[in-house]
């Protein structure tokens, strides 16, 4: 009788278990969050994946393009304290946002509006006696950094679909104040209503200036592709001439002779002009600067979204 062949059994290595995971016998897992992050192989894998992610520019960043609309108003010598005054104007523009991660974003925005104020609207009798007025177009181009309070629109489990945020940055703006006389509007900067360009005044102020925009708001993820943002923001300018009012009354007789009757009339439309009483007296508050404000709603479309690389980076940093 032929000898019976012995069956050869392949040696099976012993099971190696760490934190409940059998590294030899357990089926492969696709959820990286279940693998112990201190295991050297896992750390090396995550590091290589992160290097691959960072080699692709902008892969974990989110771009948005949107429109914004709301209201704006001015605070200055002709409206010292009132928010949302009678002559609050509509405003609108375009924006682009680059989200670096779930907390930080850079927003570039172009805004158009109008600013306007009248001494005759003030409850202050001295302002009413001064009787100045102005209106101006406003063009603003700003770049601001936004800081979200919560993790917003990420892939991690603790990300949220809404967040409060604050912002601040730098803006370039253009204004061109006009004054009203006998139902006709005149550009004020070329006239030199405080003696600019005459023997009793200095140089004319610039119509193009920089300011500091800052404020706060709320963001909401309406869908995977659509965002809604509400914001309230102030602009701290370094000019006192958005309203063409900032210094003292020039000698009206000199203005009449060197700049003409139109300049003299717009410089001091009060009943005291002909008396010379106001010469050298404060026409505006030279110790303060003008401000303007924007309250708006922005609707933006996401052009890209956070990818798995962002989630991988979050896991690696834990």
**pLDDT the model gives residue 55:** 45
Say whether 28 sits in a helix, a strand or coil. Answer: coil
- In the predicted model, residues of the chain with pLDDT beneath 50 are 1, 12-13, 15-38, 45-46, 49-50, 52, 54-59, 308, 310-312, 314, 316
For the residues of 220-243, what is the DSSP string, one character each? EE-SSSEEEEEEEEEEEES-S-SS
Give the class (CATH, top level) of 47-317.
Answer: mainly beta
**pLDDT the model gives residue 201:** 87
- Listed by start position, the domains of the chain span 47-317
Handedness of CA 278, 279, 280, 282 (dihedral sign): positive
**pLDDT the model gives residue 206:** 97
**pLDDT the model gives residue 70:** 98
Residue 53 burial by Cβ neighbours in a 10 Å radius (0-12, 13-18, 19+): middle
**204-260 confidence digits (pLDDT tens):** 999 999 999 999 999 999 998 999 999 999 999 999 999 999 999 999 999 999 999
Dist CA 179 CA 35 (whole Å)? 71
**pLDDT the model gives residue 50:** 44
**pLDDT the model gives residue 211:** 98
Crossing angle of the two packed helices 40-54 and 308-317, in degrees rounded to 10: 140
Say whether 267 sits in a helix, a strand or coil. Answer: helix
pTM of the model: 0.77
Dist CA 265 CA 274 (whole Å)? 10
Say whether 216 sits in a helix, a strand or coil. Answer: strand
């Amino acid at each position: 009788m032929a000898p019976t062949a012995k069956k050869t059994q392949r040696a099976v290595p012993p099971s190696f278990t760490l934190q409940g995971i059998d590294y030899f016998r357990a089926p492969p897992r696709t959820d990286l969050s279940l693998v112990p992050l201190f295991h050297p192989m896992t750390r090396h894998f995550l590091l290589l994946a992160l290097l691959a992610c960072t080699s692709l520019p902008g892969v974990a960043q989110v771009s948005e393009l949107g429109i914004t609309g709301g209201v704006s108003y001015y605070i200055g010598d002709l409206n010292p304290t009132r928010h949302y005054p009678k002559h609050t104007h509509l405003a609108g523009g375009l924006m682009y946002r680059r989200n670096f991660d779930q907390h930080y974003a850079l927003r570039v925005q172009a805004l158009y509006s109008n600013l306007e104020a009248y001494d005759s609207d003030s409850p202050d009798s001295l302002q009413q006696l001064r009787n100045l007025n102005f209106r101006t177009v406003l063009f603003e181009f700003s770049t601001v950094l936004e800081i979200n309070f919560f993790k917003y629109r990420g892939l991690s489990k603790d990300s949220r679909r809404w967040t409060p945020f604050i912002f601040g940055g730098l803006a370039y703006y253009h204004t061109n104040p006009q004054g009203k006389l006998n139902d006709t509007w005149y550009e004020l900067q070329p006239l030199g209503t405080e003696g600019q360009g005459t023997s009793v005044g200095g140089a004319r102020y610039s119509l193009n200036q920089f300011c500091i925009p800052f404020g706060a708001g709320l963001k909401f993820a309406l869908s995977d592709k659509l965002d809604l943002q509400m914001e309230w923001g102030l602009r701290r300018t370094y000019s006192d001439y958005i309203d063409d009012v900032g210094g003292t009354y020039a000698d009206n007789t000199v203005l009449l002779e060197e700049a003409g009757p139109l300049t003299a009339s717009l410089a001091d439309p009060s009943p005291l002009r002909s008396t010379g009483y106001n010469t050298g007296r404060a026409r505006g508050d030279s110790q303060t600067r003008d401000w303007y404000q924007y309250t708006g709603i922005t609707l933006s479309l996401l052009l890209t979204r956070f990818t798995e690389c962002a989630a991988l980076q979050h896991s690696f940093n834990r």
